[in-house]
Amino acid sequence: MIICRTKAEMREAVRGWKRAGETVGVVPTMGYLHEGHLGLVRMARQKADRVVATIFVNPTQFGPNEDLTTYPRDEARDLALLEAEGTDAVFLPNVEEMYGAGGDTFVEVPGLSAILQGALRPGHFRGVSTVVTKLFNIVTPDFAVFGEKDYQQLTLIRQMVRDLDMPLEIVPHKTVREADGLAMSSRNVRLTAEHRAEAVQLSRSLTVAEELAKSAPAISALEAAVRQSLAEAPSGKVESVDIRDAETLEELSGMLDRPAVVLLAVRFGTVLLIDQRVIAPAD
């Protein structure tokens, strides 16, 4: 496994593979890997001849009151996990290597950046779209794999790639969950025992929505049922419950008549957890 800490090293490795006619898949991460990330790596392996994982805790997607300094990091463990999965290369730049001095160019998808989590975290998705664009330009992959748990991020990146004619395919991967249903996240390790026990209510609430959706209820009834279920986690502060068009993230009203995505954001202490599920009326 090649470890590349500079853009030049990463580009040189990819050039060699492409000269040999091999395809390249990339899995962008912020490190502190868990089984969810490794599932993305395995899917990239199915799609491409060579797999690159990137590890970069991107400062431009953190707000002034967010957890950049406390974001968990364990480089040695991450590298061991990726090597065990047969990853071909890991791109591990520092902030200076990624952004240099005096950089003043950003990439933004204004509509999708301003809603949902973007409204709660101004500037977050501008940081995401900018760093992902840079990673795509450095690695030049044929495929990039992203998890569905960050559904708004996945939707935004798909639109960015389409709008800017980027020559790669965005491959989604189902949310990977703990045995009790909690969506895997690097932030789960920061939950207290009490909060960890209650956090499973997010996935239970999504199951409530999935079952209720089969009868094509009113959107307002769906939201009310989800909020009632989330109330069974008394330590959780519900920041948002949104039910949106599964393809465009447009707001829905009236009765559920098409596939929709339920998006949750619940804070336990200082830890913000998100989860999602696509639901639809029965055929």
Q: Hey, which residues are catalytic here?
A: 37
> Is 211 annotated as contributing to ligand binding?
no
> Is 153 annotated as contributing to ligand binding?
yes
| Dihedral of alpha carbons 8, 11, 17, 21, sign | negative
Among the listed residues 281, 133, 121, 109, the one whose alpha carbon sits nearest the alpha carbon of residue 211? 281
> Is 15 annotated as contributing to ligand binding?
no
> Is 31 annotated as contributing to ligand binding?
yes
> Is 186 annotated as contributing to ligand binding?
yes
> Is 36 annotated as contributing to ligand binding?
yes
Question: Could you give the 3-state DSSP secondary structure of residue 67?
Answer: coil
Residue-by-residue DSSP string for 169-234:
EEEEEPPPB-TTSPBP-GGGGGS-HHHHHHHTHHHHHHHHHHHHHTT--BHHHHHHHHHHHHTTST
CB atoms within 10 A of CB 55: 22
> Is 30 annotated as contributing to ligand binding?
yes
CA distances from 31 to 37, 98, 264, 274 (A): 9, 16, 23, 18
**Please, what's the largest Cα pairwise distance for the chain?**
57
> Is 118 annotated as contributing to ligand binding?
no
> Is 190 annotated as contributing to ligand binding?
no
Q: How far is 254 from 32, CA to CA, in rounded Å?
A: 42
> Is 159 annotated as contributing to ligand binding?
no
Which residues does the annotation place in the binding site? 30-37, 61, 147-150, 153, 176, 184-187
